[in-house]
Amino acid sequence: MDDLLAARLQMAMSLAFHIIFAVVGIGMPLMMVIAEWRWLRTLEEAYLELARRWAQGTAIFFAVGAVSGTVLSFELGLLWPQFMEWAGPIIGMPFSLEGFAFFTEAIFLGIYLYGWERVSPRAHIASGALVALSGAASGIFVVIANAWMNTPSGFRLVDGKPVDIDPIAAMLNPAAFSQALHMTLAAYAAAGFAVAGVHAFLQLRDPRNLVHRRALAIAVVVGGVSAILQPFSGDLLAKVVARTQPAKLAALEGQFKTEAGAPLRIGGLPDEETGATRYAMEIPGGLSWLAFNDSQAIVKGLDVFPRDEWPPVAVVHIAFQVMVAAGFAMMGVALWGGWLAWWGKSPFDSRSFLRTLVAAAPLGFIAIEAGWTVTEVGRQPWIIYGVMRTAEAVTPMPGLVVPFLLFTLLYIFLATMVLWLLMRQIAGIRLIVSLETQQSRRDEYAVT
C-alpha cells in the first residue's frame, strides 16, 4: 500500500466513524429538548424519563465525538501539511467558529446534565436549546469548510499562491448553503430514524411501556419531516454540482458522453474501459432537467475531461445510487406514518409499521456514509477542486500504513465502548404503567 492511499484511507476511516457521532450529536439534543418541553407542558413522567435518558446519550456521543474530532483535526495537519499551509489562512475562520460552537455546546451541556434541580425549568430548557443550536452550528461550520474545498472562492491565484484572501467570501462559497442544508437535514433524519428504530424494537417487546410510545412520536416527527424535505435540498445541491463540478456530476450519474437531453440513470454499473453504464434504467432527458431545468440542456460527460481528472466512476455512481435509495426509502416510511395518522390510526399501534421502523433504523447512517463518499471521492483527484491535487498535499513522511492501522484499532475500540454504554442506557429505561405514580410526580413538581 503506497503512502497516498494509506493517508486517504486513514482520513476516510476517521471521517466514517466521526460522522456517526457528530450526526447523533446534532439530532439528539433537539429531541431531548422537545421531550423536556412536553414534560413541562404535560408533567407526564414518560417525557421526563426521555429527556434524562436522551441527555445522557447526548453526553456519550459528545464525549466520543470530541475524541474522534480531535484526531481528525490532528490528521489534517499531519497527513496533509501542504494543504493546511496553502488553505489554512482561507478556511481558518469556519474552523475557528466551529471551535467556538463546540465549546458553547460543552458549557451548556454541562448545565443541562447537572442543572435539573439547580436552575429554574425555564433556564434548564434554554440551556438544552443552546446545546441543540450550537451542535447544529458546529456541524454547519465544518461543512462550509468542506464546501470550500469543492467550490473554492475568496482569493486570487498569483504564481500558484493565494492572494487577496477574503475569509467571508470563502465561507459564502457557491456550495456552502446547499451542502450545509443537505447535511443538517441528513443529520436530523438519520438520528430520528435511528432513535425511532430502537424504540420501535423495544415497543414491540413491551407494548405497555409509555416511554417508548412517546419517544416514537418525537423521533418519527423529527426524522420523518427531515426525510421528506431531504430530496428538495438534494435537488438544490445537485444543481450546484452541475454548475461547479461537472466532472463529479458526470461520475455520479455515469455520464460518459456529452449530450443534450441526457438521461437520468437508475442503477447500473459504469465501465470506464467501454465508456458505458450497463444495466441502468434510463429516463430520457431526466438528468438535463434535474441539473438545468431543461430536458434538452447539454450535460458535460467525462469525455470532455482529461482521463487523469476522472474520479473513480463506479465508486461514485454506486455510492450515489445507495444514498438516493436510502433517502427515498426513509421518505416513504415517513409518508406511510403520516398517511396512517391522517386517517386517524396511530402508526405505533401497527406492528408492521413498527417492524419497518426497526428495519429502517440504519438507513440514515447508510445514506450519510454514501453521501460523503460521493462528496470526497467524487472530488478526486483534487483536494481543492481545480486548484490542488490530493497527491500534492500529502505528507512526504513514509510508513503511513502504520498510523492507519493504529487509528483503525482506536476507532474500533471507541465504537465498542459507545455500543456498550448505549446498551446500558437502553436497558435502564424503566416501565411506566402507574397513572397514580405519574400524578404524584405532577403534584411534586407543581409544589417545587
Tell me: the pLDDT tens digits for 410-442? 788 877 877 777 777 666 555 444 334 444 444
**pLDDT tens digits along 139-158:** 999 999 999 999 999 998 88
Asked whether the beta carbons of 196 and 219 are under 8 A apart, the reply is: yes
| DSSP line for 89-111 | HHHHHHHHHHHHHHHHHHHHHHH
Average pLDDT taken over every residue of the chain: 87
pLDDT for position 348:
85
| Helix, strand counts (H, E) of the chain | 15, 10
Residue 218 has pLDDT above 70, yes or no: yes
pLDDT value at 334 more than 90: yes
Given this model, what pLDDT does residue 420 score? Answer: 79
Lowest mean pLDDT among 20-34, 136-150, 390-404: 390-404
Comparing 409 with 183, the larger pLDDT belongs to 183
How many CA atoms, within 13 angstroms, populate the side-chain half-sphere of residue 429?
A: 30
By DSSP bridging, strand 156-158 and strand 161-163 are antiparallel
- pLDDT category at 4 given cuts 50, 70, 90 is confident
> What is the extent of the structural domain holding 410?
3-447
Closest CA to 441 of 39, 36, 37: 39
Q: Evaluate if residue 448 carries a pLDDT over 60.
A: no
Bridge partners for 266 per DSSP: 281
pLDDT at 352 over 70: yes
Q: Residue-wise over 127-160: b if at least 16 C-beta within 10 A, else e?
A: bbbbbbbbbbbbbbbbbbbbbbbbbbbbbeeeee
pLDDT of the residue at 249: 92
Instruction: Identify whether the C-beta of residue 10 lies closer than 8 Å to the C-beta of residue 79.
Output: yes
Largest CA distance in the chain: 77
Per-residue pLDDT averaged across 34-58, rounded? Answer: 89
- Angle, to 10 degrees, between the axis of helix 210-244 and the axis of helix 3-42? 140
| pLDDT at residue 15 in the model | 87
Q: Among residues of the chain, what percentage have pLDDT more than 90?
A: 51
**What number is the average pLDDT over the span 276-293?**
89
Higher pLDDT, 2 or 240: 240
For residue 67, the model assigns a pLDDT of: 79
User: Is a pLDDT exceeding 80 seen at residue 173?
Assistant: yes
Q: Please, what is the Cα angle at 356 between 350 and 360, to 5 degrees?
A: 145
The CA-atom distances, in angstroms, between 369 and each of 326, 327, 363, 364 are 11, 12, 10, 9
**pLDDT (0 to 100) of residue 1:** 66
Query: How many domains are contained in the chain?
Result: 1
In this prediction, residue 425 carries a pLDDT of: 66
pLDDT above 80 for 443: no
pLDDT score at 208: 79
Residue 447 has pLDDT above 50, yes or no: no
Q: For the chain, what percent of residues have pLDDT higher than 70?
A: 94
- Tell me the sheet residues that pair with 277: 270
Q: What is the distance between the alpha carbons of residues 351 and 340, in angstroms, rounded to a whole number?
A: 13
Transcribe 144-155 into DSSP letters. Answer: HHHHHHHS--S-
The pLDDT value given to residue 324:
94
**pLDDT the model gives residue 128:** 93
What would the pLDDT profile of 119-142 be if each residue is shown by its tens digit? 888 999 999 999 999 999 999 999
Q: What single letter denotes the amino acid at residue 125?
A: I
